[in-house]
């Protein structure tokens, strides 16, 4: 099984076309539900006692919730607004609420997870959580600007302590102080991580392992309505596919990245989580085939 540790949120998302208020979101929610299309996924996260029943039902439909903790207080809330091109998002408000004092623990039944995804949490928390698993075969983490700015040394320590880091391009540059993404990835590998995946949004991603570079394009879409969670869906699909195959050889990882691109594309086609819900195995397989046909020359 796969364990995902990270945030579950109530998001307010403002796009040029539409504003969604207090919808189900959070990095771990996107990653775990994306992964659940491949493998049984457990979620370690916290919600407040205001968390709507209907969202709890969605989570329980897709995920194992033994690791989901409910605390007195309000659920973590995020409010962000996209510009008219949907390419940049401005944070209007972040309310940590119950997340502020959450002390995550790993349920016994999750400790045997061979695949673990640590979303963009406090790096010190990620470092301590990963140690609680008995027999990890492949661990992967993400991070965000906030932690790079406030806890850069812990971020570096976290990167050392996992097998793979998935990070977006601007954050990779900020973290490593390198403009060139190959140099940036090399620096992270020098810090002690084996695999680096740099996400470039609509431009796809770059994967690095030893002297291998595998660039891949995003699935081309004409109608993008809400980019929220695309990168988390990418990472979730990647590790979900690896867990399903129970294999981390190079060709399986490359394939997992294609799955990442495809799940990311489902995520941005609809608002909030809707793009990841109600997709069938056959929809994923069909889009994988379209992707393969699209990039062939």
Nearer to a second copy, 86 or 98 (CB): 86
Considering only 53, 108, 222, 280, the residue that binds a second copy (CB under 8 A) is 222
Question: Considering the rule CB under 8 A, would residue 217 count as an interface residue with a second copy?
Answer: yes
Q: Does 288 engage in binding with a second copy (CB under 8 A)?
A: no
Tell the smallest beta-carbon distance from residue 297 to a second copy (Å).
Answer: 4
Instruction: Tell which one of 161, 176, 216, 233 touches a second copy (CB under 8 A).
Output: 216
**H/E element holding 281?**
helix 281-295
Q: What 8-state DSSP symbol labels residue 208?
A: E
- Write down how long the chain is: 297
Residue recorded with tokens 């002297």: 211
Q: 4, 218, 235, 279: which one contacts a second copy (CB under 8 A)? A: 218
Q: Contacting a second copy (CB under 8 A), which of 213, 246, 249, 285? A: 213
d(CA 17, CA 284) in angstroms, rounded, equals 27
CB of 183 to a second copy, least distance (A): 6
In terms of CB distance, is 72 or 222 closer to a second copy? Answer: 222
- In the chain, the N- to C-terminal Cα span, in Å, equals 37
The window from 108-116, 126-134, 180-188, 230-238 that contacts a second copy (CB under 8 A) reads 180-188
The nearest distance, CB 288 to a second copy, in angstroms, is 11
Count Cα neighbours of 44 within 13 Å in the Cβ-side half-sphere. 28
Residue 57 makes contact with a second copy by CB under 8 A: no
Q: For a second copy, which residue of 128, 187, 215, 270 counts as binding (CB under 8 A)?
A: 215
Q: Which two tokens stand for residue 223?
A: 């109608």
Residue 98 CB neighbour total at 10 angstroms: 22
30 contacts 267 by C-beta, under 8 angstroms: yes
Q: Segment contacting a second copy (CB under 8 A): 33-41, 90-98, 217-225, 279-287?
A: 217-225
Alpha helices in 151-229 (DSSP H): 152-160, 169-176, 181-191
User: To the nearest whole angstrom, how small is the minimum distance from the Cβ of residue 214 to a second copy?
Assistant: 7
- Radius of gyration in angstroms for the set of CA atoms belonging to the chain, rounded to a whole number: 18
89 forms beta bridges with 82
Q: Does 188 bind a second copy (CB under 8 A)?
A: no
Q: Among residues 99 and 218, whose Cβ is nearest to a second copy?
A: 218
- Residues 252-281 touching a second copy, rule: CB under 8 A, are 254-255, 257-258
Binding residue count for a second copy, defined by CB under 8 A: 33
Strand order in the sheet with 205-209: 68-71, 41-48, 2-5, 115-118, 138-141, 164-168, 195-199, 205-209, 212-216
Q: Write the CB contacts of 117 (distance below 8 Å, at least 6 apart in sequence).
A: 2, 3, 4, 5, 6, 31, 32, 35, 139, 140, 141, 235, 236, 239
Q: Is 200 in the site for a second copy (CB under 8 A)?
A: yes
Nearer Cβ to a second copy (137/255): 255
Q: Which stretch binds a second copy (CB under 8 A): 72-80, 111-119, 174-182, 232-240?
A: 174-182
| Of residues 9 and 196, the one with the C-beta less far from a second copy | 196
Distance of CA 72 to the CA centre of its chain: 26
Contact 35, 240 (CB under 8 A): yes
| Residues contributing to the site for a second copy (CB under 8 A) | 84-87, 179-180, 182-183, 186, 200, 203-204, 206, 213-218, 220-224, 251, 254-255, 257-258, 294-297
């Amino acid at each position: 099984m796969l364990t995902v540790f990270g945030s579950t949120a109530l998001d307010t998302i403002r796009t040029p076309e539409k504003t969604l208020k207090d919808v189900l979101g959070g990095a771990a929610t996107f990653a775990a539900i994306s992964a659940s299309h491949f493998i049984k996924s457990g979620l370690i996260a916290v919600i407040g006692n205001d968390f709507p029943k209907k969202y709890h039902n969605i989570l329980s439909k897709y995920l194992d919730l033994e690791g989901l903790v409910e605390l007195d207080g309000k659920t973590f809330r995020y409010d962000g607004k996209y510009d008219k091109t949907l390419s940049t998002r401005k944070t209007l408000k972040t309310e940590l609420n119950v997340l502020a004092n959450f002390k995550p623990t790993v349920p016994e039944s999750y400790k045997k997870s061979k695949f673990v995804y640590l979303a963009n949490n406090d790096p010190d928390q990620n470092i301590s959580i990963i140690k609680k698993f008995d027999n990890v075969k492949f661990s992967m983490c993400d991070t965000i600007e906030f932690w790079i700015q406030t806890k850069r040394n812990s971020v570096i320590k976290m990167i050392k302590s996992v097998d793979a880091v998935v990070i977006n391009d601007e954050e990779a540059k900020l973290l490593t102080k390198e403009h060139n993404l190959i140099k940036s990835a090399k620096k992270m590998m020098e810090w002690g991580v084996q695999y680096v995946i740099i996400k470039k949004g609509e431009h796809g991603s770059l994967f690095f392992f030893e002297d291998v570079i595998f660039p891949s394009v995003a699935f081309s879409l004409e109608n993008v309505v809400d980019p929220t969670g695309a990168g988390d869906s990418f990472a979730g699909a990647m590790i979900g596919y690896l867990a399903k195959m129970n294999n981390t050889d190079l060709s399986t990882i490359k394939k997992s990245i294609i799955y990442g691109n495809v799940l990311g594309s489902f995520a941005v086609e609809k608002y909030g989580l809707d793009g990841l819900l109600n997709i069938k195995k056959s929809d994923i397989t069909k889009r994988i085939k379209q992707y393969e046909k699209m990039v062939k020359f």
